[in-house]
Amino acid sequence: MSNVQGYFDPRFETVRELFAEQQTDEQARGGALCVTVGGETVLDLWQGVVDKDNQQVWEQDTLVNVFSCTKPLGAVALLQQVEAGRIELDSPLAEAWPEFAQAGKEQITLRQVLSHRSGLSAISDTLPPEALFDWDTMATALAAQEPWWTPGAAHGYAPVTYAWLLGEPLKRLSGERPGAYIQQHICQPLGMDFFVGVPDDDLQRIAHVSRLRNQYGDDYARKLFASMGQPEGMGFKAFGNPSSMMVSTNTREWQQAEILSANGTGNARSLARFWQVMAHGGSLDGAHLLDDKLVNVMQQQHSQGMDKTLLAPTRFGLGIMLDQDWEGGGFGMGPQAYGHPGAGGSLGFCDPEAGVGFGYVTNTMGPYVLMDPRALALSREVYRCLKQQD
């Protein structure tokens, strides 16, 4: 017996059936799926439970941490500064953040930071757990950090430091705190129920996140987890320094911080809405995120090949992942699709050719490096339905 709630266009009934079937996994807890095609929402579904005791049902307005699905919002926020003429893509980041110009980082550009080419995927000095929630401590540590490789020479994903690499310049260029900026200039104009730093009144809507047990992912995931076991290595530092990164997800400190690389909290509907507008070149029906020229630059390949942090092949534009042709590296739609997965399974992306905006969120974290098989299966089925209608 399925407990799927919400709306579906009958043309996409098989997607709804697949979503319901995923809930029959005995470890499944809760999740939501929203898909837009052109100007309309064709799927807006949710199911399961939000709490660790499996007592509380997932509601229409349940929120959940979507981890790195937050990164493209931070990238758009910075690109809005470019659009406003406050900084250029190829300007040194130090123009906005003078303290950054030390330890060999004088020439690192905004473009390099956005495309994970800055060599700043991790902080090498061990920081205390509470440092993660002190904005200035993290910004100061990054400003002092030496790049792990020659900036521009290679790429390596910055899972957490990205928040300050983008957020500190954003703060200085806009005069606003990053979470407040994203709320005012991205979420509110688009009507997104999404926060980087959840207000007190909304905390009770957040689903409790837990991990799938006895699941080990693919070969890339195993390689990454092995690298995270080496305390002096970049992989360990990128995901585990400060150590609170790994254990804070369900805490109020995490939910209310402004870690725009990892702690965005929202729902499938808000992700699909963001990507619906991006699928249409950054503007749709009076909602404007970004000039279409900058959206085009975002989609250009800036990094490709073996990722120094993830130890898997990755392709990046500016603040977004691009499609790849290996299982788990692509979005399950057309080759022009782009977006961003989040740790544990959430996924937000668009396919401009198909006019699709896609959002999937879950509170049951899987172990994959890039795309989660649950989200991918749903995306592929959406695409199959679209092709049938052509």
Nearest CA among 93, 69, 325, 369 for reference residue 235 = 369
Residue 356: in which H helix or E strand, if any? strand 356-362
Per the DSSP assignment, residues forming a β-bridge with 34 are: 44, 359
pLDDT per residue, tens digit, the chain (390 aa), is 368 999 999 999 999 999 999 999 888 899 999 999 999 999 999 999 999 888 899 999 999 999 999 999 999 999 999 999 999 999 999 999 999 999 999 999 999 999 999 999 999 999 999 999 999 999 999 999 999 999 999 999 999 999 999 999 999 999 999 999 999 999 999 999 999 999 999 999 999 999 888 777 788 888 888 887 887 889 999 999 999 988 899 999 999 999 999 999 999 999 999 999 999 999 999 999 999 999 999 999 999 999 999 999 999 999 999 999 988 899 999 999 999 999 989 999 999 999 999 999 999 988 888 999 999 999 999 999 999 987
- Please, what's the b/e burial string for 337-371 (b: 16 or more CB within 10 A of its CB; e: otherwise)? bbbbbbbbbbbbbbbbebbbbbbbbbbbbbbbbbb
Handedness of CA 245, 246, 250, 251 (dihedral sign): negative
Whole-number Cα distances in Å, 383 to 45, 322, 355, 388:
17, 17, 11, 9
Domains and CATH numbers, the chain: 5-72+182-389 (3.40.710.10)
Classify strands 64-65 and 210-211 as parallel, antiparallel or unpaired. Answer: unpaired
Task: Return d(Cα 110, Cα 189) in angstroms, integer.
Answer: 25
Per the DSSP assignment, residues forming a β-bridge with 306 are: 313
Handedness of CA 354, 271, 263, 77 (dihedral sign): positive
Residue 341: in which H helix or E strand, if any? strand 338-341
As to burial, measured by CB atoms within 10 angstroms (0-12 exposed, 13-18 middle, 19+ buried), residue 77 is buried
Query: In this predicted structure, what is the pLDDT of residue 212?
Result: 80
362, 66 contact by CB (below 8 A): no
Query: In this predicted structure, what is the pLDDT of residue 211?
Result: 87
Q: Would you state the structure tokens that stand for residue 64, as one six-digit string?
A: 């959940």
Query: In this predicted structure, what is the pLDDT of residue 26?
Result: 86
Task: Return d(Cα 198, Cα 361) in angstroms, integer.
Answer: 17
Query: In this predicted structure, what is the pLDDT of residue 334?
Result: 95
146, 118 contact by CB (below 8 A): no
Task: Return d(Cα 319, Cα 70) in angstroms, integer.
Answer: 10
Largest CA distance in the chain: 60
Classify strands 40-48 and 5-8 as parallel, antiparallel or unpaired. Answer: antiparallel
45, 99 contact by CB (below 8 A): no
Q: If you write DSSP's letter for every residue of 9-65 in order, what string do you get?
A: -GGGHHHHHHHHHHTTSTT--EEEEEEEETTEEEEEEEEEB-STTS-SB--TT-BEE
SS3 of residue 325 by DSSP: coil
Q: How far is CA 196 from the centre of its chain?
A: 12
Nearest CA among 314, 319, 248, 230 for reference residue 278 = 319
Query: In this predicted structure, what is the pLDDT of residue 2?
Result: 62
Query: In this predicted structure, what is the pLDDT of residue 166?
Result: 98
Tally of CB atoms within 10 A around 1: 4
Task: Return d(Cα 377, Cα 16) in angstroms, integer.
Answer: 12
